[in-house]
Structure 1
Amino acid sequence: MSTNAQRSGSGSIIASRSAFTHTGSPRPARPGQLDQALAENIAGGVDPEQLSAVSHATAWALLSHVHTTEDPQVVERVLTLVDHEGVDVIAELWSHAEPDSLPGVLWRLYLLRTWMRRRRDSIARLWRLGEPIVTSASAIAGIDAAPTEEDIARTADSILAGAFRGDFAIALERAATFVDVVVAGLRIQAQRLNAHAKAMADPDKSAVGTTEDIRAAHTKAAQLLHTAANLHTTAADLRAGAHLWRRSRLE
């Protein structure tokens, strides 16, 4: 996975299939939910086949455990795993998994929740821009057409909780639709920046800008479109995961 991040209005985004990144936290201790032997193997470094086996085993174990437990504290610990242990724990387990696998899908869901909560202010603005473009998005994602920052955070928790406690495929489709709206918002922002840059370059317009101003606007627009393209791929990965889950082929 690439570690080079691009800054954008919606936060820090990795230029890779996962689309999301974290804002940097100290390397955490292993999560209490992991089997000790598995955790030691991860920490010690294993070959790709062993790592793949571990990532799939932990993903299925975690999902199965939460689906069958009646203990609300267990559910809460799993949903807030990144908050307490750091996203690096999930990265060690699942970041190298293929996007059409259960660990690969869970990796994207956890990062989506982290990103939504940390960038809730800018994401709320992007949603309000993009929601009119994406038909029925609010109904599918379960969020208002003009959400507050708190609405974004609640939706982030609700999507991940739905994956563990409800219909997994529906949770993935909700997540994908949410991302679609953010993508639309980013593209609208980019269009506005390019239009502004064009106006600054027109000597007949009152908003004439310097060459540096024009270049900066175009650069920012390109970064936003790059972020939108990465997120579009993530949405496609999530929808593909939902399709595979319904066919009992998400492994």
Structure 2
Amino acid sequence: MLDPQQADEIPGVNDPTLRAEIAHTTACALVREAHAHEDPEVVERLVRLVETEGLDVVAALWADSAPETLPGALWRLYVLREWVRRDPATVTLRFRLGVVHAPVQEAVAGASGPSPEDMLRLTDAVLSGVFAGDLAVALERAGAFCRILAVGAAFDADSLDATDDARAVRMTHRASSLIRTAEELESCAHLWRAGMLD
């Protein structure tokens, strides 16, 4: 894969239409080829794409994609997995706070427990489902996971109101962003089922 600097040197790559075409082509090719071959090694490599290629490479491909597109959905899934991988303690805390108030979302997300290892297993299973399972189900699971984390972030923000108002406000904004991401992923699942996710 090209690094972002090499990609920027390709003539015309800064053209928004060409960038969108590259994003859609690469996202569709990855999903289609992974499903066609059903090779566990390939799926494992795709799940660990950010670890091997770097978040900046994946961002160069898909970060600018509209949220309700296949590359936009893949970008959100990889960012979610990377957050779990880099900050498992925070994600686990938010999950524990949120899951008490979102038991239906817990069932949809399918987490086996509230440990950091469980959180990483969940995001790996979601990404595996993208490439070797039902994409719509994987997107719904990720959306449910985001909803649980949003509830946890909101409760965490409430606990900070009296002691650190600025941090509580930032956390409330993060909760709102997680809800928006959940809605986008769930919308992508609906579009995929309708054959309209490009």
Report what 2:99 is aligned to. Answer: 131
| SS of match in other structure, 1:136 | helix
Report what 1:113 is aligned to. Answer: 81
Report how many aligned residue pairs link the two structures: 195
Report what 2:144 is aligned to. Answer: 177
Per-residue deviation, residues 159-188 of structure 1 (Å, max 9, x unmatched)? 110111111011001000001011001111
Out of 183, 193, 197, the residue aligned to residue 246 of structure 1 is 193
Out of 58, 66, 71, the residue aligned to residue 98 of structure 1 is 66
Structure 2: gaps of 5 or more residues: none
Who wins on radius of gyration, i.e. which is larger?
A: 1
Q: State the 1:143 CA deviation.
A: 1.2
Give the residue type in structure 1 aligned to 2:150: V
Contact map agreement 1:99 1:105 (CA 8 A) in 2: yes
Contact map agreement 1:42 1:93 (CA 8 A) in 2: no
Percent identity, please: 40
Report what 1:237 is aligned to. Answer: 184
Q: State the 1:191 CA deviation.
A: 1.1
Give the residue type in structure 1 aligned to 2:67: P
Q: State the 1:56 CA deviation.
A: 0.6
Report what 2:126 is aligned to. Answer: 159
- Stretches of 4+ aligned residues off by more than 4 angstroms: 39-43
Return the alpha-carbon distance in structure 1 between the equivalents of residues 38 and 192 of structure 2. 23
Give the residue type in structure 1 aligned to 2:94: L
Higher alpha-carbon deviation: 64-73 or 120-129: 64-73
Give the residue type in structure 2 aligned to 1:173: E
Report what 1:81 is aligned to. Answer: 49
Contact map agreement 2:73 2:188 (CA 8 A) in 1: yes
Contact map agreement 2:38 2:132 (CA 8 A) in 1: no
Give the residue type in structure 2 aligned to 1:233: R
Contact map agreement 1:112 1:156 (CA 8 A) in 2: yes
Contact map agreement 1:117 1:156 (CA 8 A) in 2: no
Structure having the larger proportion of residues in helix? 2
| SS of match in other structure, 1:98 | coil
Contact map agreement 1:176 1:238 (CA 8 A) in 2: yes
Contact map agreement 1:55 1:103 (CA 8 A) in 2: yes
Report what 2:2 is aligned to. Answer: 30
Report what 1:65 is aligned to. Answer: 33
Report what 1:186 is aligned to. Answer: 153
Q: State the 1:41 CA deviation.
A: 5.3
Give the residue type in structure 2 aligned to 1:104: G
Give the residue type in structure 2 aligned to 1:79: V
Return the alpha-carbon distance in structure 2 between the equivalents of residues 163 and 143 of structure 1. 16
Contact map agreement 1:42 1:92 (CA 8 A) in 2: no
Q: Structure 1 residues 125 and 58, CA, compared in 2 at 3 Å: closer, same or farther?
A: same
Return the alpha-carbon distance in structure 1 between the equivalents of residues 168 and 39 of structure 2. 47
Q: State the 1:30 CA deviation.
A: 2.5
Q: State the 1:42 CA deviation.
A: 5.2
Per-residue deviation, residues 88-126 of structure 1 (Å, max 9, x unmatched)? 111111111111111111111111111112111111111
